[in-house]
Structure 1
Amino acid sequence: MSSTATIAIEENQADLLPRVLPAHRIGSDQEALDIARALAAEFRSGASERDRERRLPWAEIEKFSASGLGGISVPRAFGGAEVSYRTLAEVFRVLCSADPALGQIPQNHFGILGVVAQSADAAQKTRIYADVLAGQRIGNAGPERGTQNILEMKARLLETPNGYRLNGKKFYSTGALFAHWVPVKALDEQGRVVLVFVRRGTPGLTIVDDWSGFGQRTTASGTVLLDNLPVAVENVLPLHRQAEQAGIQGPVSQLIQAAIDAGIAEAAVDDAIHFVRTRSRPWADSGVERASDDPYVIRDIGDLKIRLHAANALLAKAAGLLDQVAAVTIDAEASARASIAVAKAKVLTTEIALHASEKLFELAGSAATLAEHNLDRHWRNARTHTLHDPVRWKLHAIGNYLLNGIAPARHSWN
């Protein structure tokens, strides 16, 4: 990509089409983990600068796609590695410990692949999976602003004398700017929810880089405009059927969200330890030579690590349950158990991400607040991303299930 094109993107002057680079074909869970760890080590070094400058990670996301990680959940029958949910969660946790904004960009890519597995027909699966394995990315255009809640939408897919046309306005469209396919949630003429796959470059599709959140700054989670956009019927998935059948698309989506928060938490804890060891001064009354010998600091670092390990353990346990459920016929009870298991993990990953990113400053001291360190990005990222799914409703879902036997509602946020 030329420097002129890069400037155009960063100044919101153009909706440029992403390149398609040759993608490696990953063959196993271990290979996926090895590649994720190698990329994380590379991405970590520039994460703070990208956040500070709000520099979109085009080169990094292209490396992610070229590595083959985008295709790891494609079923083996279609040529993919079909890695376990344990591996998928660990890939996101590892990447997000390096750069959670970059790590969040493909969250909808994998979430939509879960929708494809449940709602697409054989021809649609063949086409979409082939594109993904070739290195193409899937974005998102689901949520809208100005509606009563996250499930309500105004976007419409209508049949006209000139074929199907799509109109609407979306926001929080994480990944859309970097995507080759932009799936759009809309209502058809019968008021049913459908998912429309829109190819980048289609006339009437405009993606605006207007995300101004104080955290997750480089996710480009902004606006998607749909103006009388032509739609081929083979690119429409009947999303409304998903609510009518038991599945784990929602729990898988939430598992990824929890893994992102776990990655943020790990980065905050690691930076707290590093700063205390290398820069912090001991308190005058402590009687010790180094901040790392302060008994209260030692105690709090131990507490952070325990909370982090507990969150990661529940994350891995929830992913393991998803692997078990996915291996058999999924009924309503199995779907509910999956949702509750992931909700438990989501509670702890939310709490440790927020707690660790705030506690960092108490332990590291005033010097840690200097802008040159940019350590506030951990709290900004944690606070922004954990708002995606209110943890108070996770606690409600868990309690209502355990106390009253009521299963959580079936959608992408459960």
Structure 2
Amino acid sequence: MTRVTDAVARFTAVFDDVGRDAVARELDRRLPHAEVTALRDAGFTRVTVPEEFGGGGEPPSVLFALLAELGRRDPNLAQLLRSHFSFVDRTILAAPSAERNRRLEMLAGGAIVGNATHERSTAKVGSLSTTLTASPDGLRLDGTKFYSTGTLFADVVSVAAQDEDGALVAALVPTAASGVDVVDDWRGFGQRLTGSGTTVFRSVRVDERAVSRRVVGGPSHGGAFVQLVLLAAVAGIGRAIVDDAVAFVRNRTRTYSHASAATAREDPLVQETIGRLSGLSFAADSALTAAAAGVDGSVAAQRAGVDGDDLREIIAPIEAATARAQLVVLPSVLEAATLLFEVGGASAVDTGLALDRHWRNARTLASHNPVAFKARAIGDLLLNDSPVPGWWSTGEA
């Protein structure tokens, strides 16, 4: 754990700074542009970029540990960087090329990458309405995306589209390019500050070098990676629940005539509740750590040239471990977010404390990939040796 401990110590100051006004941002719905800039300036956005390109060179397991600590301060910040760190991971593992080098140098220079994958369109599952087509003056991108998490804060955005042959492609587009419109219209009751709204592309010119074909069905830990980012954010919420519960009880002066002690902090029933909250957070942390460890092995194997079925055998248990982690992290933290209110009376529901944000944020994160689907997949694995799905898409049935 020394590497994790050292990394957390290195970023604690900036995490504390960006988390200091988290409750005020929540209450005022103030987007964290300054906080994202502070994280960039501190080197956090390039923490996994290889050292030879000017990054921190940290493995995924360290990143997920850091994201949990960032989520402890503000889970919005942890989630909104999900597509950025996923893009870094994909770029690190891409075949050597001048374009790969260019992208890694761009990331080491501080560029932040956003997401434009999912749509609210008539496109069926597995297909997209967003198109990349040829024109007399080059490639043009057209389409509308939703759930564009992080794009409001990004310099470039990775856009999933279909080309004229119907192939799935990814186009890397500057968010300031002509024809790109990033809209702050995310209205979820939780994770309100992640910039997860609409992005519109109207005849946006795209450099051919910025287009790559999306590989579907090949062995990749990409699905597990993006899910582990969400689980890290939720585990961070679990830690914040314990922090807030302890702070609330220590400062509480009111009590009840029928209480079990003179003060809340001496009351064995309140102490029991704090202990249960700590145990639920510990379960979430442990599941996250266990699942995240496997991704390091996958990265090392791929950088050593392992591919095909050999790589698939390495990745399969990572997908299963990530699915199992969902079955622990999400219900543990959601339970803790409700149990939290047992430590105090009506004062605990004061809107100024915003303790309800923990449940709303955890519930929103948990809704991304429903737990029931993952539980069924694990059951199918154990009963019928069916691989846990490593990637998924959304669309009309």
TM-score (norm 2): 0.91
CA deviation vs aligned residue, 1:206-242 (integer Å, no higher than 9, x gap): 1111112221111121110000111111001111x2x
Change (3 A) 1:169 1:398: same
- Contact 2:18–2:38 (CA<8 Å) still a contact in 1? no
- The answer to whether the Cα contact below 8 Å between 2:191 and 2:364 also exists between their aligned partners in 1 is yes
**Alignment match, 2:56:** 81
User: SS of 1:213's equivalent?
Assistant: coil
Q: Distance in 2 between matches of 1:131 and 1:272?
A: 42
Q: 1:306 aligns with which of 273, 276, 279?
A: 279
Matched residue, 2:227: 254
**1:203 and 2:178 aligned:** yes
Segments of structure 1 that go 5 or more residues without pairing to the other structure are 1-27
**Which segment drifts farther, 257-266 or 345-354?**
345-354
Secondary structure at the aligned position of 2:204 is classed as strand
- Contact 1:344/1:394 (<8 A) preserved: yes
* One-letter identity of the residue aligned with 1:322: V
Question: 2:191 matched to 1:213?
Answer: no
> In structure 1, what is the equivalent of residue 349 of structure 2?
369
Q: 1:327: which partner in 2?
A: 300
Q: Once the 2 structures are TM-superposed, how far is the Cα of residue 120 of structure 1 from its aligned partner?
A: 6.2
Q: Is the 8 A contact 2:151 2:196 kept in 1?
A: yes
How many equivalent pairs are there?
Answer: 384
| Paired residues of 1:253 and 1:412 also in contact (CA < 8 A) | no
Aligned to 2:166: 191
Name the residue aligned to 1:275. Answer: 248
CA deviation string 1:159-214 (max 9, x = no partner): 22332111100111111111111110111122221110001221111111111222
Q: Does 1:359 align with 2:342?
A: no
What CA RMSD, in Å, does the superposition of the two structures yield over aligned residues? 2.0
Alpha-carbon distance in structure 1 between the residues aligned to 2:359 and 2:49: 34
Q: Hey, what does 1:229 align to over in structure 2?
A: 204
Deviation at residue 157 of structure 1 after TM alignment: 0.9
C-alpha distance in structure 2 between counterparts of 1:231 and 1:120, whole Å: 22
Distance 1:185 1:290, change over 3 A: same
One-letter amino acid matched to 1:382: A
Q: Distance in 1 between matches of 2:377 and 2:166?
A: 28
Aligned residue for 2:261, secondary structure, equals coil
- 1: CA distance, partners of 2:371 / 2:152: 28
Distance 2:155 2:6 in 1: 25
CA contact (8 A) 1:107 1:256 kept: yes
What does the per-residue CA deviation read over 1:83-133, in whole Å, with 9 as the maximum and x for residues that have no partner?
122211111000010011122221110012223234566222111111111
% identical aligned pairs? 35
Partner of 2:213 in structure 1?
238
CA distance in 2, matches of 1:260, 1:51: 16
Letter paired with 2:64:
A
Q: How far is 1:29 from its partner?
A: 6.1
For residue 297 of structure 1, give the secondary structure of its aligned residue in structure 2: helix
Distance 2:203 2:123 in 1: 24
Q: What are the Cα deviations for residues 358-383 of structure 1, in whole angstroms up to 9, with x where unaligned?
A: 11123222111111222111111111
Deviates more, 1:252-261 or 1:292-301: 292-301
Q: Which of 382, 385, 388 does residue 408 from structure 1 map onto?
A: 388
| Structure 2 residue identity aligned to 1:128 | R
Residue of 257, 277, 280 corresponding to 1:284: 257
Structure 1 segments, 4+ long, off by >6 Å, are none
| Cα pair distance change 1:165/1:304, threshold 3 Å | same
> Given the alignment, which residue of 345, 364, 367 partners 1:387?
367
Q: What is residue 8 of structure 1 aligned with on the other side?
A: none
Question: Retained in 1: the 8 A contact 2:284–2:333?
Answer: no
Aligned position for 1:348: 328
1:156-171 aligned within 5 A: 156-171=131-146
Please tell me whether the aligned partners of residues 29 and 84 of structure 1 are also in contact (alpha carbons under 8 angstroms). no
Change in CA separation of 1:122 and 1:29 when aligned onto 2, cut-off 3 Å: farther
Return closer, same or farther for 1:199/1:401 CA change in 2, 3 Å cut-off: same
Q: Deviations over 1:53-105 (max 9, x none)?
A: 11111111101001111112123453433212221111100001001112222
CA contact (8 A) 2:123 2:129 kept: no
Evaluate the alpha carbon distance shift between residue 252 and residue 412 of structure 1 in structure 2; reply closer, same or farther with a 3 A threshold: farther
> Is the 8 Å Cα contact of residues 142 and 204 (structure 2) preserved in structure 1?
yes
Structure 2 counterpart SS, 1:93 = helix
Structural mapping, 1:138-177, within 5 Å: 138-147=113-122, 151-177=126-152
Gaps of 5+ in 2: none
Distance 2:125 2:275 in 1: 38
Determine whether 1:316 maps to 2:296: no
Aligned residue type for 1:350: L
Match for 1:387: what amino acid?
A: S
SS of 2:368's equivalent in the other structure is: coil
How far 1:149 sits from its partner (Å)? 7.0
Change (3 A) 1:325 1:200: closer
Instruction: Check the 8 A contact 1:311/1:348 in 2, yes or no.
Output: yes
SS at 1:279 equivalent: coil
- Which amino acid in structure 1 is aligned with residue 341 of structure 2? F
